[in-house]
Chain A
Amino acid sequence: MSTVTETKKAPAGERVADWADGRLGIYTLAKANMRKIFPDHWSFMLGEVCLYSFLIIILTGVYLTMFFHPSMNEVEYVGPYVPLQGQLMSEAFNSTMHISFEVRGGLLIRQIHHWAALIFLAGMFVHMMRVFFTGAFRKPREINWLFGFLLFFLGMFTGFTGYSLPDDLLSGTGVRFMQGAILSVPVLGTYLSMFLFGGEFPGGDFVARFYSAHVLLLPGIMLGLVVAHLILVFVHKHTHFAGPGRTNNNVVGMPLLPVYMAKAGGFFFLVFGVIAVIAAIASINPIWAIGPYRPDQVSTGAQPDWYMGFAEGLIRVMPGWEINLWGHTLVLGVMIPLAIFPAVLAAIAVYPFIESWITGDKREHHIAQRPRNAPTRTAFGVAWITAYMIMLVGGGNDLWATHFHLSLNSITWFVRIFFFAGPVIAFIATKRICLGLQRRDKDKVLHGRESGIIKRLPHGEFVEVHQPLSQGELHRLTAHEQYDAAELPPAVDENGVERKIGRMEKLRVKLNKGYYGDDSQIAKPTVEEYKEIQSGHGHH
């Protein structure tokens, strides 16, 4: 206790804080962070949706472990759900039935758990796109981009192992698909399958093994990654969009205490509340209607959870190529989709490093870019999403066929062709749209905002009155940086000696020209252009 307060004891709260400070150093921590500034933009809440749904999944998941039995021992169902009475099923399925029909609130928690998982993955997908399209992955945030990507990747497998646990007919079919895909791996496939399943499929082990991966191994790694991700967000601080007073060297917003704490803390409850309501009114994975797994039975219209639909599409539309040579089989029809799946994901994961190699830019970037101002990147991102979405169509080709009365074969052929053609079209179209928007911005800066007021000039001509933009708006529309396209140095140097230029450097310069050449960006208006037009008024 300090000498000042000798006469009066400090309040209880302060004394607790003093105690903690002496052991944890909380005052030093709080000094740096309590009034830390967070910028405000609606798109920053996407990451929060992910964080909160992850917490909800952990909370509800712990509850579910109290009732779920990860065992594949066969039992006869004697519970209250009449249609399944007397059926043989695994204890995993039986205990999931128990959770759904006999534990009060068990069904609700199960549904919250599953809905939150879907929202978690969807949130990560959209959050990742936000970061991608605004260039928020640039230095110093490349590592954090990778952490986020790993969370998305592991999230998919945590989801897959999770929805396989009830051992119902639908998820069992998904596990069978995975086992069939593993078998296609050259040389090692049969060994991997035997080791994963403890023998032949389905055996009696996979539920227990998936369970330990689903509740311990994968979420353990993910929790570590989430913490690392958040620490880096704190250290790097958020990006923000350029605007009056918002520069690359500052961060403008509201302090953590109280505004951000109230908003972000409140948002956790909003997300949880909305998911609880969804779980109340929308049934998800009704295993009682699907029934227990039998390897010789299947239902039509079988679909994985949405985030696996991309892989499902790849496996569905791939032609069934098989090469048989020297007593061995190379199952290309399954192997190639199995390889494309991580390759497509890896393409987006390594993109930040490719872009920074192309630009050669080593500076820190804290200004979020508007997607139009990075046309080639935006076009690449849209092309990637297009390929992803087309494969989602492929993954549900049977549903598209039955719902829209289309031929399944034509849908499959459409997907086969447009998995390649679609991204190209999307790339070209997106780039053009971005350049168009850049021209519009330039127009707005130079000529002002269209006011909608039509003026008749003395000689009878009608013109629309354009109102000049405020300085803040002018700044916002011209604050983005533009790179000049790179050029190869002259083939011979000043001494007449031939210059050696590596092949990689040539490729880099070529790509750089593609990114920043004349066709790939509209030069932003200069002060001179602006002044010239403003001085010669009336000339539009």
Chain B
Amino acid sequence: MSSQEIPEETLPAGQDTAHGAVKVADDPFADPGLPPHKPRIQDIDERAARRSERAVAFMFTLSMLATVGFIASYVIFPVDKIVFIWPFGHVSALNFALGLTLGAALFFIGAGAVHWARTLMSDVEVADERHPMQATPEVKAKVMADFAAGAAESGMGRRKLIRNTMFGALALVPLSGIVLLRDMGPLPEKKLRSTLWAKGLQLINMNTNEPLRPEDVAVGSLTFAMPEGLSEHDEHFQTEIAKAALMIVRIQPEDIKDKRELEWSHEGIVAFSKICTHVGCPISLYEQQTHHVLCPCHQSTFDLSDGARVIFGPAGHRLPQLRIGVNDKGFLEALGDFDEPVGPAFWERG
């Protein structure tokens, strides 16, 4: 819009002029109105119309046959039959047959209906008037008057005591609902700060369910452990393992860069929480050469040879280490619980 006087009203003018086909003789851009209807072949040739009719009926018939096929498949194919169908591979015969027949039964109803509408029903375009959403001033005036009358009759404005106490009552009553939510769960207290680990608990290999000896932990292997006394059949197993899951690796003691890590290890065997400090996925990828572990969910990477500090990814702090030693029977044992909360950070973590 160049070099024009800036009008008060910058809206384009004349939205309402071009209703219908107001053909301004002098205006080549004027709306010429709806183009004349072009008849389809079915409109003029009864044979073509008959062809369309047969096509529609054919599709509806296919749908009926497909439904029969669906019922037959349901009866014929055993639920556990697996067949090879190229290119889908080994699939359940029942699922495949039911899906295709149901799909065909539905699809051909739709295809028939659409074909019917497109070829045989009238395709003459019709125009309908639109009406503004806004009410007329008279209607609005009537509503305002009615409202004023109603409000005056209620006495809301005049009897303030009633109004205020009513607002008070309505504001308070939802509190009951909120109070009822209290028993959705316990208060956090210190629950997230401790795990099942305690001094003297042996490290149980998750694979063999046997206590671990130091010689069981080979260099370059990643071993998962849980505390002694925990069993998969325990009622709270899932909740306990979500905090207590442990991973154990062996690093040459001279390769351990972090002083405390070395102190808390046993002959180069170090035990760290398996739960990622980002949002709590279990870490499961271990790079033997570098002693890096990677969380497969969000790719936080920790250096197990350097106090499990974060070297890449979205995690905010190192993995907690479990101090371990060997008991008099020669098994690896915990020398206490983790000294900081495991898993994702939270407000009270500090």
- A: residues with CB less than 8 A from B are 36-37, 74, 80, 88, 101-105, 107-108, 111-112, 140, 173, 176-177, 179-181, 183-191, 193-203, 205, 235-237, 244-245, 247-255, 258-259, 262-263, 265-277, 279-281, 283, 293-302, 315-322, 324, 327-334, 359-361, 363-364, 366, 397-398, 408-409, 412, 445, 471-472, 474-475, 478-479, 481-487, 512, 516, 518, 521, 523, 527, 530-531, 534
Q: Tell me, rounded to whole Å, the shortest Cβ–Cβ distance linking A238 to chain B.
A: 10
State A279–B242 Cα separation when bound (angstroms). 35
* 8 A Cβ contacts from B289-341 to A: 296-300, 310, 312-317
Given A267-B110, A273-B104, A472-B32, A202:B239 Cβ within 8 A: yes
B296: A residues at CB distance < 8 A? 298-302, 398
Task: Judge if B7 is at the interface, Cβ distance under 8 Å.
Answer: yes
Taking the nearest CB of chain A, how far is it from the CB of B278, in angstroms? Answer: 7
When distances are taken between beta carbons in the complex, the residues of chain A under 8 Å from B297 are 173, 177, 298, 302
A117–B185 alpha-carbon span in the complex (Å): 31
When chains A and B are docked, how far (Å) is the Cα of A195 from the Cα of B206? 31
Nearest-neighbor residue (CB-CB) of A474 within chain B: B29
Q: Does A262 contact B106, Cβ atoms closer than 8 Å? A: no
Q: Is the CB of A236 within 8 A of B347?
A: no
- Name the one of A187, A250, A320 contacting B313, with C-beta atoms under 8 angstroms: A320
- Within 8 Å of chain A (Cβ to Cβ): is B165? no
A-B contact pairs, 13 of them (CB 8 A): A74-B233, A185-B347, A235-B133, A255-B126, A269-B109, A270-B111, A279-B103, A280-B98, A296-B245, A316-B314, A364-B133, A479-B29, A485-B6
Say whether, besides A108-B98, A250-B20, A316-B299, A183 and B344 are in contact (CB < 8 Å): yes
Picked from A177, A203, A293, the residue with its CB within 8 Å of the CB of B279 is: A177
Are the C-beta atoms of A334 and B279 separated by less than 8 Å?
yes
Is there an interface contact between B30 and A200, defined as CB atoms closer than 8 Å? no
B197 to chain A, nearest CB (A): 14
Against A, the Cβ 8 Å flags (1 = close, 0 = not) of B64-99 are 000000000010000110000000100110111111
A200 touches B281 (CB 8 A): no
Of the stretches B41-49, B115-123, B138-146, B211-219, the one at the interface is B115-123
**Chain B residues positioned under 8 Å from A281 (CB to CB):** 88, 91, 96, 99-100
Given the known inter-chain contacts A104-B79, A331-B345, please indicate yes or no for A482 contacting B128, CB distance below 8 A: no
Among A88, A263, A318, A483, which residue has its beta carbon within 8 angstroms of that of B232? Answer: A88
Question: Given A248-B19, A333-B316, A472-B35, list of 18 further CB < 8 A pairs?
Answer: A189-B347, A202-B242, A245-B21, A245-B32, A245-B125, A247-B31, A259-B123, A265-B113, A270-B114, A276-B106, A296-B241, A322-B317, A329-B346, A331-B347, A333-B278, A334-B279, A334-B344, A487-B10
Smallest distance from the beta carbon of B340 to chain A beta carbons, Å?
A: 11
A201 touches B280 (CB 8 A): yes
Q: Which of B10, B26, B344 contacts A484 (CB 8 A)?
A: B10
Closest to A177 in B: B279
In the complex, B33 has a CB within 8 A of chain A? yes
Instruction: Tell me whether B254 is interfacial, beta carbon within 8 Å.
Output: no
CA distance A40 to B310 in the complex (A): 57
B223 within 8 A of A: no
Checking B96, B114, B191 against A266 with a beta-carbon cut-off of 8 angstroms, the contacting residue is B114
Chain A CB within 8 A of B39 CB:
no
Give the complex CA separation of A330 and B349 in angstroms. Answer: 9
Q: How far is the CB of B110 from chain A (nearest CB, A)?
A: 3
Asked whether B286 is an interface residue with its Cβ less than 8 Å from the other chain, the reply is no
Chain A residue at minimal CB-CB distance from B33: A245
Q: Does B172 contact A (CB under 8 A)?
A: no
The reply to whether B310 and A412 form a contact with Cβ atoms under 8 Å apart is no
Roughly how many angstroms separate A195 CA and B312 CA in the complex, as a whole number? 32
Contacts of A176 in B (CB 8 A): 242, 279-281
Tell me whether A475 and B242 are in contact (CB under 8 A): no
Q: Which residues of B contact A258 (CB under 8 A)?
A: 117, 121
Nearest chain B residue, comparing its CB with the CB of A107: B95
Specify which chain A residues have a CB less than 8 angstroms from the CB of B187 in the assembled complex. 191, 194
Complex interface residues of chain B between 176 and 227 (CB less than 8 A to chain A): 181, 184-188, 191-192, 206, 224, 226
A183 to B279, CA, bound (A): 9
B350 and A329: CB pair below 8 A?
Answer: yes
Question: Across the interface, do B279 and A181 meet the contact criterion of CB distance under 8 Å?
Answer: yes
Identify A194's interface contact among B2, B94, B127, B186, CB under 8 A: B186
- Among A102, A334, A512, contact of B79 (Cβ-Cβ < 8 Å): A102
**Contact (Cβ within 8 A) A318 B314:** yes
When distances are taken between beta carbons in the complex, the residues of chain B under 8 Å from A187 are 347
Which residues of the partner chain B approach A272 to less than 8 Å between Cβ atoms?
A: 106-107, 110
B153 — which chain A residues lie within 8 A by C-beta?
none
Q: How far apart are the CA atoms of A315 and B279 in the complex, in Å?
A: 9
User: Is B170 part of the binding interface, using a Cβ–Cβ cutoff of 8 Å?
Assistant: no
Contact of A331 with B314 at beta-carbon distance under 8 Å, contacts A194-B186, A295-B282, A527-B27 already known = no
- Contact in complex: A262, B117 (CB < 8 Å): yes
Give the residues in chain A near B249, CB-CB below 8 Å. none
Would you call B242 and A295 a contact (CB within 8 A)? yes
In the complex, the answer to whether B299 meets A398 with C-beta atoms within 8 Å is yes
Closest 7 CB pairs of A and B: A280-B99, A180-B279, A273-B107, A266-B113, A245-B34, A269-B110, A270-B110
Chain B residue nearest in CB terms to A397: B299
Docked-complex contact B103 and A273, CB < 8 angstroms: yes
Cβ of B1 under 8 Å from chain A: yes
- The answer for the CA separation of A248 and B108 in the assembled complex, in Å, is 37
Q: Which of B31, B33, B106, B242 contacts A269 (CB 8 A)?
A: B106
The answer to whether A270 and B126 touch (CB under 8 A), given A140-B133, A236-B133, A398-B296, is no
Tell me if A484 and B4 are in contact (CB < 8 A).
yes
Q: Is there an interface contact between B92 and A107, defined as CB atoms closer than 8 Å?
A: yes
B336: min CB distance to chain A, Å = 21
Chain B residues contacting A196 (CB-CB under 8 Å) are 184-185
B99 and A184 within 8 A (CB): no
Q: Is B168 an interface residue when CB atoms closer than 8 A count as contact? A: no
B28 at the interface (CB under 8 A from A): yes
* Chain A nearest CB, measured from B261 CB (Å): 20
Identify which of A101, A196, A201, A317 gathers the most chain B CB atoms within 10 Å of its CB: A201
> With contacts A398-B299, A518-B2 known, is A262 near B315, CB below 8 A?
no
CB pair A269 B113 closer than 8 Å: yes
* Residue B12 interfacial (CB < 8 Å): yes
Q: How far is the CA of A244 from the CA of B20 in the complex (A)?
A: 9
Contact B34 A252 (CB under 8 A): yes
B148 is an interface residue with CB less than 8 A from chain A: no
- Tell me how far the C-beta of B49 lies from the nearest C-beta in chain A, rounded to whole angstroms: 16
Q: How far is the CA of A218 from the CA of B92 in the complex (A)?
A: 33
Residues of B within 8 A of A361 (CB): 11
Is B151 at the interface (CB under 8 A from chain A)? no
B38 proximity list for chain A (CB < 8 A): none
A468 to B287, CA, bound (A): 70
Q: How far is the CB of A260 from chain B (nearest CB, A)?
A: 8
Q: Kindly report which residue of chain A lies nearest to residue B283, judged by CB atoms.
A: A298
Cβ–Cβ contact A37 & B4, under 8 A: no
Any A CB within 8 A of the CB of B343: yes
Most chain-B Cβ atoms within 10 A of its Cβ — which of A263, A320, A332, A363? A320
The reply to whether A329 and B185 form a contact with Cβ atoms under 8 Å apart is no
Is B288 an interface residue, CB under 8 A from the partner?
Answer: no
B241 to A295, Cβ gap below 8 A?
yes
A142–B296 alpha-carbon span in the complex (Å): 42
Cβ–Cβ contact A317 & B314, under 8 A: yes
- On whether the beta carbons of B7 and A262 are closer than 8 Å, the reply is no
> Nearest-CB distance from B233 to chain A (Å)?
7
The answer for the CA separation of A81 and B280 in the assembled complex, in Å, is 30
Closest to B129 in A: A250
Which residue on chain B has the smallest CB distance to residue A90? B238
Report whether B285 and A199 are in contact in the complex, using a CB–CB cutoff of 8 Å: no
